[in-house]
Amino acid sequence: MTAESSTREINVDYLARVEGEGAMYLKLDGDEIIDLQFAIFEPPRFYEAFLRGRKPSEAPDITSRICGICPIAYQMSSINAMEFAADVEVHPQIRALRRMLYAGEWIESHTLHVYMLHAPDFLGYESAIELAADLPEVVTHALRLKKLGNTVMTLLGGREIHPINMRVGGFYRTPTQSELDTLVEELEWALGMSEETVRLVSGFEFPDFEMPYEFVALHHPDEYAITDGRIISSEGLDIDVSEWTEHFEEIHVEHSNALHCRLRERGTYHVGPMARFTLNHDQLTPRARAIADEVGLAKGERNPFKSIIVRSVEIVLACEEILRLIDEYERPPEPWITVESTDSVGHGASEAPRGILYHRYEIDPGGLIADAKIVPPTSQNQSSIEADLREFVGPRTQMEDEKLKWQLEQAIRNYDPCISCATHFLDLTVERVN
Amino acid sequence: MPWIIIGVGNRDRGDDGAGVAVVEALTGCATHVVDAGALDMFNLWSETDDVVVVDAMRSGARPGTVRSFDVRETPLPGETFASTHSFGPAAGIELARALGRMPTSIEVIGIEAGDLTVGVNLSPPVVQAVHEVTRRLASA
């Protein structure tokens, strides 16, 4: 930190609790915000370009490489798009297996964020390691919970990182009932432990802060949407996934290498656990609903710092759903069906741990991918993150730099931003002109 | 060879794959590859094991330089082992220490990386170093 009479700067290197390369820049003149940017300088990765000319069946395996934390989300959205393009529907039990696998990813990703990345903020620790030294039992349980998520992904997806078993039309191999049954005992433990997690994190101290978000999430008539659904919002949007481009646009802003997304009509919107919780509140599973009620987490919660509670409730929901689906499982007659299409367009979306992940593919007359578009949740939330930061700083400009920096980093982590699975680096600068 | 050998790294990132190359060259002992998420690395050992972790390092030394660190009592020097994931081996070891899950002995062997370009093979000095480390471990 350097301090001078007119300009003050704070730089934080190697902040290990944000996924990818990003930075925040804040310039203040007295109480006035001159400039505020949440920048992503992760270089463009050109996935959309190198999908061109590939077979539709390759899209799940190629796009799953975009993220080591949420590969299932990438596989699922691309599979949905290819099945949409071919106008096919898979067996209900194939859909159930996809939901189980996806719920495993939620458990793994949410547990990592809640305990290892976000909780240290609230408890005043620099990292999860310091947290572990003081509360070893909590961290041991967290790691066991995360490992269960990995076990689910390994059993259904073939391996825990970049799974390979899910494919367009189904799975390469479906599990037997007895294989799924091996998960039950640990899932029952996890269900209880995730309820304890909700109780623990709801006791944290939260800044008094709310934002008038427009929440956007998938909605499914029969269940808390994970793998698919229509796109709805708290302002009345209710569209099929294929209508995405009519309602959403991507804009390039100079300070960021990731595109900013906007609702064409109303601008900034918010995707992720808080949006899902409010928009699909009626479909919470029984124990998820009971624990949310117990800790006073209500539909419509708009304090982003409380997203840690919502994520914890979604871990409960994920455990309950896998248990239910194992109980109702019947091995499908075929592991997969053939999916082929030519000269068509496919749209697919699913609820990645961080929010809606939208894919669109054009398939040429020869049956190859002619064009691809991938819109990840963090790019959709970039404007919302900036809006939060701006609003949060407003009444706190007199806060000392170190404390302000800490709380702003925390505000960014509310979104669990996943900039990529490359080097993890956040450079945060606060500049005071006067 | 009663040890557990853990190779950390990504074989698709040039010299970052040094630790993995050592593990692949070893036979007759318990080996593991950690290519991401070293956070709960302690699940690979028990408190009574002797553990060696082999990883690429960036300390500013000449590529192929081999250094050994006894981390049973002392943490790894900060930021020498630059991980491409949020929780690298240094964090994994410190988490094990915090949770009381350290093995009987644990040594980290660092091989200085030169070229970390995506998709390239190990550079010649690192190939040399991999041979050297493999020989040492195989004869131990």
| Each residue's pLDDT tens digit, A165-219 | 999 999 999 999 999 999 999 999 999 999 999 999 999 999 999 999 999 999 9
Give the one of B36, B79, B94 whose C-beta lies nearest to A161's C-beta: B36
Domains identified in chain A, total number: 2
Lowest mean pLDDT among A20-29, A74-83, A177-186, A208-217: A20-29
Contact (CB, 8 A) for A323 and A191? yes
Q: Which residues of B touch A116 (CB under 8 A)?
A: 39, 86-87
Q: Grade residue B80 by pLDDT with cuts at 50, 70 and 90.
A: low
Residue A421 domain boundaries: 2-44+382-432
Contact B36 A421 (CB under 8 A): yes
Q: Which of A284, A260, A275, A420 is nearest to A356 (CA)?
A: A275
Q: How far is Cα A147 from Cα A190, in angstroms, rounded to an integer?
A: 10
Task: Examine the domain organization and report whether A216 and A140 are in the same domain.
Answer: yes
| Cα–Cα dist A168/A314, whole Å | 27
A31 and A126 share a domain? no
| Chain A residues whose beta carbon lies within 8 Å of the beta carbon of residue B40 | 143, 146-147
- How distant is the Cα of B92 from the closest Cα of chain A, in angstroms? 9
**Stretch (H or E) spanning B20:** helix B18-25
- Same domain, yes or no, for A239 and A99? yes
Q: Looking at the predicted structure, is the pLDDT value of residue A47 above 90?
A: no
- In angstroms, the CA B121 to CA B17 distance is 9
pLDDT level of residue A300 (50, 70, 90 thresholds): very high
**Chain A residues whose beta carbon lies within 8 Å of the beta carbon of residue B85:** 68, 421, 424
Cβ–Cβ gap A16/B37 under 8 Å: no
- pLDDT tier at A136, thresholds 50, 70, 90: very high
CA distances from A12 to A112, A381, B4 (A): 22, 23, 37
My answer on whether A371 and A408 are in the same domain is no
Q: Among partner residues A130, A136, A424, which is closest to B86 by beta-carbon distance?
A: A424
A250 or A154: which leads in pLDDT: A154
pLDDT at A22 over 90: no
Find chain A residues with C-beta within 8 A of B95's C-beta: 128-129, 132, 139
Interval A230-261: pLDDT, tens: 999 999 999 999 999 999 998 877 666 667 78
For residue B54, pLDDT beyond 80 = yes
Instruction: Give me the pLDDT at residue A246, please.
Output: 96
The two three-digit tokens of residue A248, written as one number: 């959403």
**Segment A320-335 mean pLDDT:** 98
**Residues sharing a CB contact under 8 Å with residue A369, sequence separation 6 or more, in sequence order:** A51, A52, A53, A54, A55, A56, A59, A361, A362, A363
C-alpha separations of A197 from A45, A120, A229, A355 in Å = 36, 14, 28, 21
What CATH number is associated with residue A290?
Answer: 1.10.645.10
Report CB contact under 8 Å: A139, B95.
Answer: yes
A–B interface: beta-carbon pairs under 8 A: 47
Residue A334 half-sphere exposure toward CB, CA atoms < 13 A: 8
pLDDT digit string, tens, across residues A98-107: 999 999 999 9
Task: Pick from A130-144, A279-293, A392-406 the range whose average pLDDT is largest.
Answer: A279-293
Those residues with Cβ within 8 angstroms of residue A46's Cβ, 6 or more apart along the chain or in another chain: none
Q: Are residues A177 and A226 in the same domain?
A: yes
Site of tokens 């980290």:
B108
Average pLDDT of the segment spanning A79-92? 97
Q: Which of A22-26, A61-65, A299-303 has the lowest mean pLDDT?
A: A22-26
Q: How confident is the model at residue A367 (pLDDT cuts 50, 70, 90)?
A: very high
Pairwise CA distance, residues A56 & A344, whole Å = 11
Same-domain check for residues A331 and A424: no
Q: What are the E-state strand segments in B58-104?
A: 66-70
Residues A371, A386 share a domain: no
Does one domain contain both A392 and A300? no
Structure tokens at B6: 């853990």
Domain end call among A380, A405, A422: A380
Residues 394-423 of A with CB under 8 A from B: 421-423
Among A159, A151, A160, smallest CA distance to A180 is for A151
Q: Which of A71-85, A241-255, B43-57 has the lowest mean pLDDT?
A: A241-255
The nearest CA of chain A is from the CA of B132 a distance in Å of 29
Q: What ipTM goes with this model?
A: 0.80
Same domain membership, residue A330 and residue A247: yes
Same domain? For A145 and A272 the reply is yes
A128 touching chain B per CB within 8 A: yes
Say whether B79 and A14 touch across the interface (CB within 8 A): yes
| pLDDT at site B17 | 92
d(CA B133, CA A197): 44
What is the C-alpha separation between A217 and A358, in angstroms, rounded?
Answer: 11
Query: Is the distance from CB of B107 to CB of B70 less than 8 angstroms?
Result: yes
Please check whether residues A365 and A392 belong to one and the same domain: no
- Stretch among A11-20, A131-140, A378-387 having the lowest mean pLDDT: A11-20
How confident is the model at residue B89, as a pLDDT?
A: 84
Answer with the one of A336, A354, A380 that is the final residue of a domain: A380
Across A73-91, average pLDDT: 97
Pair (A139, A278) in one structural domain: yes
**Domain spanning B4-138: CATH superfamily:** HybD-like (3.40.50.1450)
Write down the mean pLDDT value for chain A. Answer: 88
Distance (Å) from the C-alpha of residue A135 to the closest C-alpha of chain B?
9
Say if CB A363 and CB A346 are below 8 A apart.
yes
Which B residues, 2 through 41, put their C-beta within 8 Å of a C-beta on chain A? 35-37, 39-40
Cα separations (Å) of A121 from A113, A386, B96?
A: 11, 19, 21
Q: Quick one: pLDDT band at residue A270, thresholds 50, 70, 90?
A: very high
Residue A27: Cβ within 10 Å count = 17
